[in-house]
Structure 1
Amino acid sequence: MKKRYLTALALPVILAACSTTVKQPVETTMISANDLATHQWVLTKVDNKALELQQPFKAPTLQLNEELGASGHAGCNRYFGQAELKDGKLRIEKMGMTMMACQDPAMKLEHTVSSTLMEWSTASINGNELSLTGAEHNLTFTRTDVK
Structure 2
Amino acid sequence: MRIAILSASALLLTACSGGPTIVNSDLQHHHWNLSAINGVAIASEIKSDLEIAEHFTINGLAGCNRFFGSATLEGNRLVADPLASTQMACSPAEQKVEHAVLQTLGKGATVNNNGNELELVGAQYTLTYTLADWM
TM-score normalised by length of structure 1: 0.77
2:79 matched to 1:88?
Answer: no
Larger Rg: 1
2:29 matched to 1:38?
Answer: yes
- Name 2:15's counterpart in structure 1: 25
Count how many residue pairs are aligned between Structure 1 and Structure 2: 122
Supply the distance in 2 between the matched residues of 1:97 and 1:77 (Cα, whole angstroms).
6
Contact 1:34/1:66 (CA < 8 Å) preserved in 2?
no
Supply the distance in 1 between the matched residues of 2:54 and 2:21 (Cα, whole angstroms).
17
- Name 2:9's counterpart in structure 1: none
Gaps of 5+ in 1: 1-23
- Which aligned segments of 4 or more residues in structure 1 are displaced greater than 3 angstroms? 24-27
Overall identity of the aligned pairs, in %:
36
Q: Which one of 90, 111, 131 corresponds to residue 123 of structure 1? A: 111
Deviations 1:60-103 (A, max 9, x none): 11101121000000011000011110121001101000000111
Q: Which one of 55, 71, 78 corresponds to residue 67 of structure 1? A: 55
Q: Which one of 37, 48, 66 corresponds to residue 39 of structure 2? A: 48
Supply the distance in 1 between the matched residues of 2:44 and 2:19 (Cα, whole angstroms).
33
Supply the distance in 1 between the matched residues of 2:91 and 2:69 (Cα, whole angstroms).
25
